[in-house]
Structure 1
Amino acid sequence: MRRLSRLFIALSAVSCAFVQADDSVVETIEVKGDFRSQQLNKIPGSIAVFTDADMQRQNAQHLDDLLQQAANLNFSAGASRGRFLQVRGVGERSEFVDSINPSVGVLIDGIDYSILGVSSLFDLEQVEVFRGPEATRFGANAMAGMLNLQSRRADFDPSGELAATFANYDSLQLSAAYGQGLTDKLAFRLAVDHQQSDGFIDNNYLQRDDTNNIDETTAKLALRYLATEQLTLDWVTHWRDLDNGYDAFSLDRNRTTLSDQPGQDQQRSQGSMLSADYSGFGFARLFSQLSYLNADTDYGFDEDWSYDGIHPDGYSTTDRYLRDRSHWSAEQRLVSSTDRHWVAGWYHSQQKTDLERQYWDWDAWAPAQFFSHFERKNSALFGELSLALASDLELTLGGRAERYQDQYSDSKGITRQDDDWMFGGKASLSYQLSDRASLYGLVSQGYKAGGVNGEALGKADATGSAALADYLRERASFAPETLLNTEFGVKASNAEQTLVSRVALFAMWRDDMQVNSWVTRDQMFIGFIDNAASGRNYGLELESRYQFRPDWTLYGTLGLLRSEIRGFITEEGVDKTGRDQAHAPDYQYQLGSEWLLAERWSLNLALQSKAAFYYSDSHDAKSDQMHLVNLRLQYQLDQWQFALWSRNALNEDYGVRGFYFGNDPRDGYAEHTYEQLGEPRRLGVSARYQF
């Protein structure tokens, strides 16, 4: 911690050294996911914003491609796409039988897509990464942070875009968007995107190269209606049709599989959001929002990762999870229109999940089904007040009180109800050195709900061991978790905006830390959530951009992280106290440079690196260090843009999900680290026409 403090002081001095001369406002990036739109460099908190230019620079087609750019942001796959996020080492890594409570939520146009993931980045205005607890603004799904994705809204000025990308592995992306005013009060925007790829796996048993394929179609329709001078209505609806394969894990621990029954990762979803912005009160704006999402998912895999007959001691089973999810929410808040900034509001949501699991019952030695129903209601009151202590000093206080009510039942006869209150909030002090630089100190608390371990309870009687059955029954439920965060930051730029820097130093304390735990007996795997006594996470985040010359820009991000588990003993009796938390790499960085080679030509080169990290809290399997090189050569001709690009140009193998157990009968089921690998070298060409 002392080393991080010295580094932070040095970087702060550099950031502040050029803050002098005139006070012109130079920060133009606005954060839209907070209670009110604010300039990024004036918000007290560590927030990363990716604009359309950032996405193009990375050749990002999916959120996986973009996340490598952000400091202290990691993800895990365990499906055809990365959909489980970790901010500052905190977050979930998978979902199987039991519904999970995300530590890092995902909002797209105000619709909650947490756990379901992001299917396309096309027609996005920007992606905002809130790091640290955001309970006041977002509630229980933002204990560690929140990703807020904002699509381009309907506009009265005609605009459109056509785009196409072709890449190796038979990859194709076709996209189109257009919008304009239909009348002087009504405007629309429609966007459609289709992506397909054979994927990066060769199935030697089936002699196919598309068992881990991508086949995704998304569409969005947005409307804006100017009902009166004081009332604006916005409506957006999403459709997603994902028909991806899932055949990612190899007994030979490479990109070659032997599955005879490859799995699937499918999703059919429809989401809508209606919002109203009313300014007729004068003293405050009334913002109202209603959202709804329904998603049917089908996720399954070949459990043995092989074929029937591979070895006399082999087995051949599959595991499949069909979920029907629905989630609606309503929120109203008053946001002051005066110089004295305040917010007051309420929130209510209800979510339901019905699960059908089709699996092999090892005790009955027969195919089996499992059904469960989970329902949660959340109700909250929240508020925020900013006080100007001086012309350049502002104190902000915010809080949220949230109640959740859970109902759980399943086909094993297990029922459970939970009802609890959770409290979060923040206090920040922001000092404006000038219009180009600010310092802030922040204390915030986040939370997430407890729950029931239905899988563990359902298998307690089937273990064949009285001691193990008692162990699982003792973990029938898990307690809520709270996270306390302290943070100090500097945000600054020089007068010409050729140098922009943001630095944050943080320390976080986790109480009743929720950890994923496993019981493994031969081919029987029982997952459940346990509570460690506590956890500690601290580190630093740096984002900087320096334009050396009009034709040469250098940019970079750096995340340093130290984490620790305290008071957690696994089912095997191993004490994990003092060990790093899962998916919490010690460092992440990106260093990139962009050159204008000629009037219409530009070249971007970026190096992204990530330290090795543990895959789980309950075992010690680790990833390797990751080093990715990305290239993009672009030609701009009026409204046309053409690009030749490569991601992971050096073809590095790196893991995005990992397990440690025995699954190969050919070596007597010896234990190994099995990894799902990220994308290999990608080569592609893209064309884009904006009008």
Structure 2
Amino acid sequence: MGLGHLRRCVSALAIIAASATAAHAQESAAQDGAAIDGEIIVTAQKRAESVQDVPISIVAISGEGLAQANVLTVLDLGQVAPNFQSVRSSNTGSTRLGIRGVGSLANTLIEPSVAVFMDGVYVPRSGSILGAFLDIESVEVLRGPQGTLFGRNASVGALSLRAAKPKDEFSGEVSAEFGSFDRYRIQGHVNVPLTDNVAMRLAGMAQWFDGPWFNRLDGKNYGGSDDVSLRGTIRADLGNFEWIVRGDYTRLKGDGVANFDFDPASVSPARLDFIRAAFNGGPDTNLRDRVMNQFIAQGLVDENWGIASEASLDLGGSTLRMINSYRVWTNDQLDGDIIYFPVSLASRRSLFDSKSHNHELQFISPEKEWFGGAFDMVAGLYYFEEDFGLGEQLNLGTSFCGILVPAGPGRTACSSFVANTGGTAATDQDVFQNVKSFAIYGQGNVHLSDKLTLTLGGRWTKDRKRGTYAQASSPFTQTLRATERLTFPGINEDRFTYRASLNYTPTDDVLLFANISTGYKSGGYNSGGGTPSLSVVDANGNLVSTRRLFDRETVTNYEIGAKTSWFDRLLTANATLFRMDIDGFQDRAFDGVSFIVRNAGALRQQGLELDLRLAPSRDFSISGSVAYLDSEFTDFANASNLPGLPGTQVLNGKPNTFSPKWSGNVAVDWGTDIGSSGMRLNVNSNLFFTSSQFVGTVNDANLQSRAPAYALLGGRISLDGPDGRWTVALFARNLLDKAYRPLSVYQPLGGALGLSNTVFPGSTANRVMAGEPRAFGVSATLRF
């Protein structure tokens, strides 16, 4: 961030704070007390607090807000939470979650940069939360390291999902939805009081979807699914003791296909003509349509379930809370043809198997009651363990041997292998990792005065990892995956992280804060196949050397911010100026065939986050958020070189992937009562925008992987019946049918297919994932 940008950002914070202080003294301009403050209660600091009282850069969205913005899954969340990014690759298990431009694809053994929590329970793999947001009460996106209070260290931020709790009354809701591309969806919940102090809540969802992508080669639609999600919760309130038990199950079943079109500008006209002549007319090259043209072998079964217990004991104002959980996620996807051509070359079967359990003991003191109101605190003990298995099988297609194996005895043997085995499991990878993590943490607030508070927090984490790696490969696939087998060297490390914050509240409606916090991700193991082998083993099977280890990643985050409310909370304005310095950034390099994790020297992410909301009456509100992000590698001397070029390159001064300079959203909500009928008409619209950014899976600053800026417009019109007993709604997503690029990948085996000639930009064959096309829907909801 340049000095001019820095001055303007600091000035903006000062203006907001000064204006809010002055506005607090003014009388409200609201008429008839109709002002609405739009506040949401969050639990970012383990207490139920207004989002305006939490000295953290946080986006909090209610379940109703998610519905109004047509946010169905975590992949839509970035459209309402600037500086939060989510994208899936060709494999659903490799979903990437990022905050402030930093994240990790989930199909590796890398710890996630963004920790996900469901009702306070850590979910270790982001690929396991692709199911719909079922009966969600609120979503909190916590930007910046959250290591001192959350169960698993969240190095750049956290995503906290909260499901609705059982209530002491009989109630329920059921809704049905029909949308574009034959999407049918039904969901609902019922709340049942079992006794005077025990209640149960059951929620469920089922969805059927044909998918938006038409494949010209076989005349079928792809991208569809058949999904089921269930959740059951029992809550017992026994005076000073509350016990909540939850169970959930989600199954995603479909083809798992994402549309990766071929970018015609990424090769010369002569090479494009060659592709079309040699490969059955070639892949689809229109990046603006819903058409693909490729051989497809597909199938997806993703199952995710868990049970959790949360027991809270009131100790005369303090709370002792115990959280226990067990979660299982399995993902089995046949992903092919992974070359994306209209001939049968190779498919991939990917397997994910995660079994984890969390145990956390929390102590929460009464707020502002100890030492004459001068001190309160939160402390805890935490244990986490996960067994995580990754599997990959490459299957040879009917055209593989004739195209990728030289003529002669080798091709003959390859063709015989395919004929006898169907090409199945030409390579077979099996990776296992066990992680055990123990932590002790505490955070205290020292109330220096009624207006000034010093917050100090610390966390000591100890991580232990062990695992094995096995890669088998046929004679025809040694150029793709080298045979390798080893037991990973054990990893045993610990780290202390901390947070210090000074918070000043000159009035009840103004909070000024300055934070310094640190984050940490432990080192780990490379799980990708390599050629040649990434490890050297002697004749006795002893490990001589390996490139399968990478080191820890650490984060130091600096923030100054203001949370303000004006005119009796008709207007809220929150701003945070931040800088994150990341050392040992765990980056994925690409060698043309496989990915290898290695540590970059240093990455700096800094910028400004601004959130505004104006609600002059219950009938109208407008809100907007904008994030400015300045991303720069300050030390990255061994980055991936451009495709086809040997060695590495220096990326100092270049941005990280998925780090747009600008992103944000604007939402307008308007409603009116219809006479004396008791009915109400509501109109909602949401505009999301982002500037250009690198969206490749590799940090190499190749301009071909830079996606242009785009904006997405969504809208919703709904009619509520008397007392809100029923609602009918019409909604649209991507209303202007904007073509956009959420992800790009290099053409698999581009070198072997003769598609990369090291002329940049213009000849590094590129595949571009198509963004979701325009879609409409109608829904009806009945409440009782």
Q: Same fold (TM over 0.5)?
A: yes
- CA gap 1:330/1:602 in 2 versus in 1, 3 angstroms: same
Deviations 1:328-366 (A, max 9, x none): 010001111234211221100110012332114899966
- CA gap 1:662/1:327 in 2 versus in 1, 3 angstroms: closer
User: Are the aligned partners of 2:151 and 2:360 in contact in 1 as well (CA < 8 Å)?
Assistant: no
User: Are the aligned partners of 2:20 and 2:509 in contact in 1 as well (CA < 8 Å)?
Assistant: no
Range with greater deviation from structure 2 (356-365 or 26-35): 356-365
Deviation at 1:13, TM superposition (A): 1.4
SS at match of 2:320: strand
User: Are the aligned partners of 2:654 and 2:701 in contact in 1 as well (CA < 8 Å)?
Assistant: no
SS at match of 2:9: helix
Aligned partner of 2:693: which letter?
Answer: F
Residue 547 (1) aligns with residue 615 (2): yes
Q: Distance in 2 between matches of 1:574 and 1:665?
A: 19
2:83 to 72, 83, 87: 72
* 2:47 corresponds to: 36
1:640 to 700, 712, 726: 726
Aligned partner of 1:628: which letter?
Answer: L
Q: Distance in 2 between matches of 1:152 and 1:672?
A: 47
1:440 to 505, 508, 513: 513
Residue 563 (1) aligns with residue 631 (2): yes
User: Tell me, which stretches of 5 or more residues in structure 1 are unaligned?
Assistant: 465-471
Aligned partner of 1:206: which letter?
Answer: D
Aligned partner of 2:319: which letter?
Answer: R
Q: Distance in 2 between matches of 1:304 and 1:26?
A: 50
Q: Distance in 2 between matches of 1:568 and 1:301?
A: 34
Residue 185 (1) aligns with residue 197 (2): yes
Deviations 1:122-165 (A, max 9, x none): 31100000000001122554101010000001121222111111
Alignment coverage as a number of residue pairs: 669
User: Are the aligned partners of 2:151 and 2:382 in contact in 1 as well (CA < 8 Å)?
Assistant: no
Q: Distance in 2 between matches of 1:395 and 1:463?
A: 50
* 2:383 corresponds to: 348
Deviations 1:247-294 (A, max 9, x none): 222332444233333333421121111011001x32621110001101
Q: Distance in 2 between matches of 1:449 and 1:264?
A: 34
User: Are the aligned partners of 1:619 and 1:660 in contact in 2 as well (CA < 8 Å)?
Assistant: no
* 2:19 corresponds to: 17
Q: Distance in 1 between matches of 2:211 and 2:692?
A: 25
1:393 to 435, 448, 452: 452
Aligned partner of 2:657: which letter?
Answer: A
SS at match of 2:11: helix
Equivalent residues in 2 for 1:48-67 (5 A)?
A: 48-67=59-78
Aligned partner of 1:252: which letter?
Answer: D
- CA gap 1:496/1:23 in 2 versus in 1, 3 angstroms: closer
The structure whose Rg is larger is 2
- CA gap 1:676/1:268 in 2 versus in 1, 3 angstroms: same
TM-score (structure 2 length as normaliser):
0.81
Percent of paired sites with the same residue: 25
* 1:468 corresponds to: none
User: Are the aligned partners of 2:363 and 2:379 in contact in 1 as well (CA < 8 Å)?
Assistant: yes
Equivalent residues in 2 for 1:22-421 (5 A)?
A: 28-79=39-90, 83-95=95-107, 98-113=108-123, 114-115=125-126, 116-138=128-150, 140-209=152-221, 211-226=222-237, 228-248=238-258, 249-250=260-261, 251-253=283-285, 254=287, 255-279=290-314, 281-282=315-316, 284-306=318-340, 310=343, 316-337=345-366, 338=369, 339=373, 340-360=375-395, 367-411=426-470, 412-416=484-488, 417-421=490-494
Q: Distance in 2 between matches of 1:605 and 1:424?
A: 41
* 1:682 corresponds to: 775
Aligned partner of 1:439: which letter?
Answer: L
User: Are the aligned partners of 1:27 and 1:39 in contact in 2 as well (CA < 8 Å)?
Assistant: no
- CA gap 1:235/1:140 in 2 versus in 1, 3 angstroms: closer
TM-score (structure 1 length as normaliser):
0.92
Q: Distance in 2 between matches of 1:99 and 1:462?
A: 16
Q: Distance in 2 between matches of 1:408 and 1:64?
A: 31
- CA gap 1:355/1:41 in 2 versus in 1, 3 angstroms: same
* 1:423 corresponds to: 496
* 1:660 corresponds to: 746
Aligned partner of 2:721: which letter?
Answer: L
Q: Distance in 1 between matches of 2:726 and 2:13?
A: 40
Deviations 1:493-543 (A, max 9, x none): 1243210111100011001111111111xxxx1211111110101001111
Residue 603 (1) aligns with residue 638 (2): no
* 2:736 corresponds to: 650
Deviation at 1:687, TM superposition (A): 1.5
* 1:502 corresponds to: 574
Deviation at 1:641, TM superposition (A): 1.4
User: Are the aligned partners of 2:683 and 2:718 in contact in 1 as well (CA < 8 Å)?
Assistant: yes
Q: Distance in 1 between matches of 2:515 and 2:599?
A: 27
Aligned partner of 2:356: which letter?
Answer: H
User: Are the aligned partners of 1:296 and 1:322 in contact in 2 as well (CA < 8 Å)?
Assistant: yes
RMSD: 2.6
Q: Distance in 2 between matches of 1:635 and 1:23?
A: 34
Deviation at 1:99, TM superposition (A): 2.0
2:599 to 531, 537, 540: 531
- CA gap 1:177/1:5 in 2 versus in 1, 3 angstroms: farther
Q: Distance in 2 between matches of 1:575 and 1:241?
A: 44
User: Are the aligned partners of 2:535 and 2:547 in contact in 1 as well (CA < 8 Å)?
Assistant: no
User: Tell me, which stretches of 5 or more residues in structure 2 are unaligned?
Assistant: 29-35, 262-282, 397-403, 418-425, 471-483, 537-543, 641-646, 675-679, 757-763
Q: Distance in 2 between matches of 1:377 and 1:202?
A: 45
- CA gap 1:4/1:642 in 2 versus in 1, 3 angstroms: farther
Aligned partner of 1:287: which letter?
Answer: R
Q: Distance in 1 between matches of 2:534 and 2:365?
A: 58
SS at match of 2:247: strand
Q: Distance in 2 between matches of 1:507 and 1:73?
A: 16
Range with greater deviation from structure 2 (590-599 or 402-411): 590-599
Q: Distance in 2 between matches of 1:353 and 1:514?
A: 19
* 2:650 corresponds to: 575
SS at match of 1:497: coil
Q: Distance in 2 between matches of 1:395 and 1:153?
A: 33
User: Are the aligned partners of 1:518 and 1:618 in contact in 2 as well (CA < 8 Å)?
Assistant: no
Deviations 1:526-581 (A, max 9, x none): 21111111010100111111135553322100010011122242353221111100
User: Are the aligned partners of 1:288 and 1:332 in contact in 2 as well (CA < 8 Å)?
Assistant: yes
User: Are the aligned partners of 2:324 and 2:360 in contact in 1 as well (CA < 8 Å)?
Assistant: yes
Deviation at 1:666, TM superposition (A): 13
- CA gap 1:94/1:293 in 2 versus in 1, 3 angstroms: closer
